[in-house]
A and B are shown apart, each in its own frame.
Chain A
Amino acid sequence: MMAFESLAELVSMGSHGPYVWTAWGATLGFLLLSVILVRGESRGVRRTLRRRLRRDAAVASSPSEDQDEG
């Protein structure tokens, strides 16, 4: 059973609304932000690694580079 009669009461929390919503907003906001950052970090590292592997492969298969090494 809901502890509040209406949505307005849930928002105001009997005058404690600003305190409760600040604490909750900061916490859930941080959790959401960190998920976005963790995903971005993972994608960024993968993109960089993939680009480097592709470049290495191109260098290895290019004939002129082979001659230089030989």
Chain B
Amino acid sequence: MPGKWLQKILTTVYTLLLYGFIFLPVVVLVLFSFQDSRLPIMPFKGATLRWYEAVLADSRLIDSLINSFIVAMSSSVVAVVLGFLAAYALARFHLPAKGLQRALLTAPLTVSYLIIALGLLIMFNALGVAPSLWTVGIGHVVINTPLCFAIIYSQMGDHQVNIERAANDLGANEWQTLLLVTVPMMLPSILASFFLAVTFSWDEFIISFLLSRFEVTLPVEIWSMLRSGLNPKTNAAGSLVFMISIVLLLVAELLVFRRIKQK
């Protein structure tokens, strides 16, 4: 019995310590975003919303937020479409060199973003393509397509083949089957991969940093804010981004994971 109590105490203490470690930086970040002083350090000098006002008044920051949103949404749509079609074809059709195709499609997952970014930068430089949000989007599609492909491909089961055959048997052509049966049937994994892709693109730094010039994404803008050192305004910006992400997460939870649970 004492052993059991000891175990309980140990697991509780461990859990609290680790949750403390995990939450420490977030709590400090959010807390000092309300700091009524020019430095986000101890002691805490009372609450103010002026740093949030400063953030919302910062048009560069707001622009970069909109840029990030546009790049994340559009690159994720492209990545999901490319990944889904490839997963569908490789799961359903007998194609030559399937293993090689799968390896090629998932290869970018194992390469550091820095290397992908540098390769694209060198190529675009050589071809005379100017850095822009377009090139950032291209880079994000490169890193997210393998992710979407892998997630959707892993959910393409053989039991779905008969469902598609049934649709075909009842008179649906290839595209009707794809749009009316396969896509709705795969919707949970399609949405899951889409939200993951949005998260990754939203948060991505190095590709955005190297492949953009005048118009930048949010992580790059925050990065340039960091140059000014510790500043409660950066805290406020970071806290705001955190809250936006949490809202996005809640939307994903309600839209996607509830569906998956339902199954």
A and B from one complex: no
